[in-house]
């Protein structure tokens, strides 16, 4: 994959030479004619991770940009090569202290520039791999491995945050606890792979009926918790009914055969003002879910959130 490099030099001739050289080496070049333009490029979301900056430029100098970039400290890292002209005797140490990673003297020697760019490129690529690995770890730590929705600790965090938000901004928060009906039968009849497929398909159906700002997490084996910010009792019950229909409407076609899957739903709503906390909301939703199971499954039941003792 070709790598994007920002070059900034106020001297047209040397900028063009640099640009042509880099293109010859298959770099994708973004050229800036002065420091301000370079800084502008570096602040964009798709900023090049590799920059070759002339030291002396009108507006922001290469040194100024180094300092600004390091102060901003954003990710991914920006690798900076400073261009210094030997006859101006710029202080290389000062450049490195300002945050430059390396420097090349002008007029540049092609081989030297090539080697130094490759070193920079290696750093940039290693850092990208590191960021990707860290992101993957973060996903693994917060998501259910099978269904890829939030795991239990993560959905509880989200619920806690939403309650915190209602405490600041007012308004209700609702939760739905839902459980696939007679799920054990699926596993016993069709095997665990079929069970996994049913879980994934149920999640897919539920998610396709959710608003973008609602969150769903796997709470237990076949039990899921949905957090609905801003929804009161009526709205949450209506939404739970939509989810119930989404799960139950069509039989699920699996490679092991067709299965009819339904789910039972327990709904509760609360506000921070009336003492809602994750434990109380989940406890009430659980009670409602139990009622839905007892009343014959494949239905939605509501329970008021328990008030704290006065």
Interface region with Mg ion, contact rule CB under 5 A, candidates 9-17, 163-171, 185-193, 287-295: 9-17
Kindly report the length of the chain: 310
How many residues bind Mg ion (CB under 5 A)? The answer is: 4
DSSP H or E run through 182: none
Please state the closest distance from residue 12 (CB atom) to Mg ion, in A.
11
Please state the closest distance from residue 165 (CB atom) to Mg ion, in A.
51
Closest to Mg ion by CB, 11 or 235? 11
Whether the CB-CB separation of 269 and 233 falls below 8 Å is answered with: yes
Catalytic residue among 222, 241, 256, 287: 222
For residue 274, what is the DSSP state? Answer: G
Give the span between the Cα atoms of 216 and 227, in whole angstroms.
6
**x/- string (CB under 5 A) for Mg ion, residues 37-76?**
-----------------x-xx-------------------
Whether 222 sits among the annotated catalytic residues: the reply is yes
Please state the closest distance from residue 123 (CB atom) to Mg ion, in A.
25
Closest to Mg ion by CB, 10 or 232? 10
Binding flag, residue 10, Mg ion (CB under 5 A) = yes
Q: Could you list the beta-strand ranges (E) of 210-293.
A: 215-218, 223-229, 252-254, 257-259, 263-270
Please state the closest distance from residue 57 (CB atom) to Mg ion, in A.
5
Query: How many CB atoms lie under 10 A from the CB of residue 253?
Result: 11
Closest to Mg ion by CB, 61 or 147? 61
Q: Could you list the beta-strand ranges (E) of the chain.
A: 4-8, 28-32, 50-54, 79-85, 102-106, 173-180, 215-218, 223-229, 252-254, 257-259, 263-270, 300-302
Residues contributing to the site for Mg ion (CB under 5 A): 10, 54, 56-57
Q: Give me the active site residues, please.
A: 222
């Amino acid at each position: 994959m070709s790598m994007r490099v920002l070059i900034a030099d106020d001297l047209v001739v040397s900028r063009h030479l640099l640009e042509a050289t880099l293109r010859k080496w298959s770099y994708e070049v973004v050229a800036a004619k002065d420091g301000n333009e370079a800084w502008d490029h570096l602040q964009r979301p798709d900023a090049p991770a590799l920059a070759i900056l002339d030291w002396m430029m009108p507006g922001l100098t290469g040194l100024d940009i180094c300092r600004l970039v390091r102060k901003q400290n954003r990710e991914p890292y920006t690798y900076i090569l400073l261009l210094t002209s030997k006859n101006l005797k710029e202080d290389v140490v000062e450049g490195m202290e300002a945050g430059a990673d390396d420097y090349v003297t002008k007029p540049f020697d092609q081989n030297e520039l090539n080697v130094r760019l490759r070193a920079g490129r290696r750093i940039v690529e290693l850092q990208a791999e590191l960021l990707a690995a860290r992101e993957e770890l973060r996903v693994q730590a917060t998501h259910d491995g099978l269904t890829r929705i939030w795991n239990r600790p993560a959905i509880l965090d989200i619920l806690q945050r939403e309650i915190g938000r209602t405490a600041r901004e007012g308004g209700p928060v609702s939760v739905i606890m839902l459980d696939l009906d007679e799920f054990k039968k699926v596993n016993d009849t069709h095997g665990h792979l079929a069970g996994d497929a049913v879980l994934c398909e149920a999640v897919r159906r539920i998610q396709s009926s959710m608003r973008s700002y609602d969150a769903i997490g796997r709470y237990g084996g076949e039990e899921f918790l949905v957090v609905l910010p801003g929804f009161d009792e009526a709205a949450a019950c209506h939404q739970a009914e939509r989810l119930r229909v989404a799960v139950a409407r069509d039989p699920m076609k699996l490679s092991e055969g067709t299965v009819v899957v339904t789910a039972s739903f327990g709904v509760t709503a609360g506000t921070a003002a009336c003492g809602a906390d994750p434990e109380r909301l989940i406890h009430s939703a659980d009670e409602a879910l139990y009622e839905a199971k007892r009343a014959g499954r494949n239905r939605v039941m509501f329970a008021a959130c328990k008030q704290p003792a006065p």
